[in-house]
Chains A and B, each alone.
Chain A
Amino acid sequence: MEPGSIAVVGAAETTQLGVIADVSVLGLHADAALNAIQDAGLTVADIDGVATAGISPVDLAYYLGISPIYADGTMVGGCSFMMLLRHAAAAINEGLCNTVLITHAESGRSRIDAGVFPRTPSSLVGQFQQPYGVYVASTVFTIPALRYMKTYGATEEDLARVAVVQRQWAARNPRASFRNPITISDVLDSAMIAWPFRKLMCCLVTDGGGALILTSAARARDLQQKPVYVLGTGEAVDSPLIDQMENFTSSKAFRASGAKAFQEAGISHAEVDHLMVYDAFAHIPLYGLEDLGFVGRGEAKDFVREGQTGTGGQLPMNTNGGGLSYMHSGMYGMYALQESVRQMRGTAPAQVEGAKISVCHGVGGWFSAAGTIIFSNEMPT
């Protein structure tokens, strides 16, 4: 896509985040959508494209009273929203529609009409993973980590430090679920979930949602919010079976998605002021830093230890606190996108002063998919 041709003109999360015991999944989608439409200064009549994952875009459009001429239900897990944004940008540029609403919501904790994503016993996952005790994310997404740790000499302390640094960011975010400071010892003393992963190395399980509104940069100029331009986009898929990843020290999907986004944006890594890497577990940001090309192989642990991803570091990362501390409803990608948009608008609670370019990278389906969006608050010259 042409860098800067599309802008985010509306962005909002659900009114509440955390434990929302009185709203269904569909209700959370609607709440986020209405908040984002209001944020953009638009009405539902202005929306002619809908995109969502986890529920059908048909449900979303009907419920909100939208009659769309574009609908996308791409569902690849937590990075679906990066892909939906990428597809919407292409659709708007192609003239398929003008203004696209993208929503996410899950009742991850309260489970009010929570989505179920069953695998049949004859699917690839049903035949070749589930017989061995795989079920929740902690039983499978975590498996590559030991190989990464052995290859690069990363330790349990290095994993713990990712959670510690992100908690420092969360402390600055009033909406973050966990804000109290933690130490490496706190992390290493927390309950064992799936060795080497302790509880504080694993994401939260909460309720919430978020929505984005995209339109052309030309139309964005007439709207009330400062446009957040899309500079570049990437997406990739790998294997539904984690054991079939080419190599457990790196994600092929991360590399392909990131490279495409950087190539489209035409920027260098040195120009990036802010980074979001979907952190369902503490090892994912380490893979992200390396596979996106910010640091060399095996260097991510040192980069984090030097404080470079923390407050005052050269590459502030996961500044909302991430899935480890901010919130995680199941498919976290939307919240990473929301934080990138806030940083580009200059409205983030833990604002990175002067930030002009934000990279937002998502993972889906336990390393099986990836999506990358590069934003800027300046139209590229």
Chain B
Amino acid sequence: MREALPTPTPETRHFWEGCRAGELRLQRCKPCAHVYFPPRAFCPRCSSREVAFFAASGQGSLYSYVINYRPRADMGSEPHSIAVVTLDEGPRMMTNIINCPQTAEALVLDMRVRVVFEVQNDEIALPLFEPAQG
């Protein structure tokens, strides 16, 4: 079990509740339609407070990563990816790519990925990504 788990704030609670319910939630600005991450109570592009969350597709592509050969104590002993994905809706987010070998051959930039939620406890599930088939 990972130890460095997030503590949601009022501004991010919808995101983490979504992850625990199996839904990747992004926010969209009503006036300017900008889709953004990480969560906040206003649009970072136009400053409007008229924003709402929605369920994203959970689909994206691999933007960049490293394979960490010196994992943090709670991350196990095997090398693992620390990655950034570009979601189909536009925003980028940090994650781990799982369910595939943690090698340069298996982790190819721009490959398609999809979200999988790894449950940590009653409150937190982490949005990780795995290679999308086809």
Residues of A within 8 A of B (CB): 120-122, 124, 126-136, 138-140, 142-147, 150, 191-197, 241-244, 248
Contact = CB atoms under 8 A, between A and B. Distances in A.
B72 A133 contact: yes
Contacts of A248: 63-64, 84
B63 A127 contact: no
A369 to B, nearest CB: 18
Contacts of B66: 138-139, 142-143, 145-146, 194-197
Contact of B82 (A122, A134, A145, A241): A134
Q: Which residue, of A130, A132, A136, A144, has the highest number of chain B Cβ atoms within 10 A? A: A132
B: contact size bracket: 20 to 34
Given A132-B94, A134-B94, A143 B7 contact: no
B113 to A, nearest CB: 14
A143 B82 contact: yes
8 closest residue pairs by CB, A with B: A127-B6, A147-B64, A195-B67, A122-B7, A194-B66, A121-B7, A130-B4, A243-B94
Given A194-B82, A244-B92, 12 more contacts: A121-B6, A129-B94, A131-B4, A132-B83, A138-B70, A142-B66, A143-B84, A147-B109, A192-B69, A193-B69, A193-B70, A194-B66
Contacts of A124: 38
Contacts of A197: 66
Interface string B69-95: 111100100011011100000001111
Nearest to B15: A127
B88 to A, nearest CB: 16
Nearest to A134: B82
B5 interface: yes
Given A138-B70, A194-B66, A195-B104, A133 B6 contact: no
A27 B109 CA distance: 47
Given A194-B67, A244-B92, A128 B38 contact: yes
B31 interface: no
Contacts of A142: 66
Nearest to B71: A133
B65 interface: yes
Contact of A131 (B2, B68, B84): B2
B93 A128 contact: yes
B133 to A, nearest CB: 23
A127 B71 contact: no
A319 to B, nearest CB: 29
A147 B63 CA distance: 7
B104 A132 contact: no
B101 interface: no
A146 B64 contact: yes
B12 interface: yes
Contact of A150 (B16, B96, B109): B109
A246 B68 CA distance: 23
A121 to B, nearest CB: 4
29 contacts: A121-B6, A126-B6, A128-B38, A128-B94, A129-B94, A130-B6, A131-B4, A131-B5, A132-B94, A132-B96, A133-B2, A135-B72, A138-B68, A139-B70, A139-B82, A140-B82, A143-B64, A143-B82, A146-B65, A192-B79, A193-B70, A194-B66, A194-B67, A194-B68, A195-B104, A196-B66, A243-B93, A244-B92, A248-B64
